[in-house]
Amino acid sequence: MMSAFSPDTLPVIAVVGPTACGKTRRGVAMARHFGGEIVSADSRQVYTGMDVGTGKDLADYGDVPYHLIDVAPAGTKYNLYKYLRDARRAVADIRARHRLPVVVGGTGMYVENLLKGTVLPEVPENPELRRSLEGLSLDELAAILARTKSLHNTTDIDTVQRAVRAIEIEQFYLDNPEAAEAARAPQTPLDALIVCVDIPREERRRLISERMRRRFDSENMLDEVRRLIDSGVDPEALIYYGLEYKFLTLHLLGRLSRAEMEEQLETAIHQFAKRQMTWFRGMERRGFTLHNISWNLSDDDFIAEVERLLANA
């Protein structure tokens, strides 16, 4: 059943929520229904070859076009600046073809800054600063970052490398006040309807654990990480990506036993999902309206809820 709405008359639709809640399936269903295309907002799905651990599930897209997936080689560092540049281009291209952009993802920093129209300067690496931070723990780096008047959010800082990059960005703004002012300047936000897949905590934890076990048992996640390392990807780059790639790499390097790796990974994913929800609640405090729709509705009922929201907008 096609929608009675025309893609040209609709706001951008954003589908957000914690990991394992079924965002991709809902986004694809809505893109197919409304005549749209997916704009991914996932900080790890941008990398080629990182499929199982990031949950790309490309087969689920069928004939629905998608953007911002597999746009950077594994081992490189994609960032917020590049994401905003590429996502704006994707949204403009989709709109120019009279299609509907459907933003789907759990990286709150990407979603929020895209929707509010943030424009950032490109921040180069600072080798001297990086040398000065060598040897500091994640807690020590987080404390340094917390002392700054931050334009960079700390909730996604789960590795030393990410924390160093966040401090590097802050130092760039201190050294280049005109760039900081430009980053703080009012931007033109996207007209968007934000839908949050609402899932109870215990159900979320169950699905996360089931998915992790499935990725180990039938989807060969460990083999994927092994292939990336064998292909020449620097293990430290994989550790930088966090979560699955961090802990599986540490196991393959002999720094964690299999049992330690699985236990620490499962804990880290649960903590990550909690941070995701903290971010989305923070978006509401920062002026965004998020519409919660239950995770266990059928696709048809989920879409009907979205159409009701659109009709009342």
pLDDT range class, residue 115, cuts 50, 70, 90: very high
Nearest one of 250, 208, 245 to 224, comparing CA atoms: 245
Q: From residue 260, how far is each of 163, 263, 270, 291 by CA, in Å? A: 24, 5, 16, 38
Helices (H), 80-137: 80-96, 108-116, 127-133
- pLDDT, tens digit, for every residue of 136-150? 998 898 888 888 755
Tell whether the model's pLDDT for residue 152 goes beyond 60: no
Could you give the angle at which helices 258-285 and 108-116 cross, rounded to 10 degrees?
Answer: 20
Per-residue pLDDT, averaged over 283-309, amounts to 97
pLDDT range class, residue 159, cuts 50, 70, 90: confident
Q: Which pLDDT score is estimated for 123?
A: 87
CA dist., res. 245 & res. 229, Å (int): 11
Q: SS3 letters for 18-49?
A: CCCCCHHHHHHHHHHHHCEEEEECCCCCCECC
Which pair of tokens denotes residue 40? Answer: 């991914």
Q: Which pLDDT score is estimated for 162?
A: 79
- pLDDT, tens digit, for every residue of 183-211? 777 678 999 999 999 999 999 999 999 99
SS3 134: coil
CATH architecture of the domain covering 7-119+187-312: 3-Layer(aba) Sandwich (3.40)
pLDDT range class, residue 156, cuts 50, 70, 90: low
Nearest one of 86, 103, 94 to 27, comparing CA atoms: 103
CA dist., res. 99 & res. 94, Å (int): 5
Average pLDDT, the chain: 92
Q: Which pLDDT score is estimated for 181?
A: 78
The answer to whether 152 and 145 are in contact (CB under 8 A) is yes
Domains of the chain, by residue range, sit at 7-119+187-312, 127-184
- pLDDT, tens digit, for every residue of 248-285? 999 999 999 999 999 999 999 999 999 999 999 999 99
Tell whether the model's pLDDT for residue 45 goes beyond 70: yes
The radius of gyration of the chain from alpha carbons, rounded to an integer in Å, stands at 20
Tell whether the model's pLDDT for residue 151 goes beyond 70: no
Nearest one of 299, 313, 309, 311 to 1, comparing CA atoms: 299
Per-residue pLDDT, averaged over 112-118, amounts to 95
Q: Which pLDDT score is estimated for 306?
A: 97
pLDDT range class, residue 1, cuts 50, 70, 90: low
Tell whether the model's pLDDT for residue 129 goes beyond 90: yes
Q: Which pLDDT score is estimated for 157?
A: 66
pTM above 0.85, yes or no: yes
The answer to whether 30 and 227 are in contact (CB under 8 A) is no
CA dist., res. 121 & res. 173, Å (int): 10
Tell whether the model's pLDDT for residue 132 goes beyond 90: yes
What one-character-per-residue DSSP string does 175-195 give? Answer: H-HHHHHHHHS------EEEE
- pLDDT, tens digit, for every residue of 161-173? 878 988 998 899 8
Beta bridge partners of residue 39, listed in sequence order: 67, 103
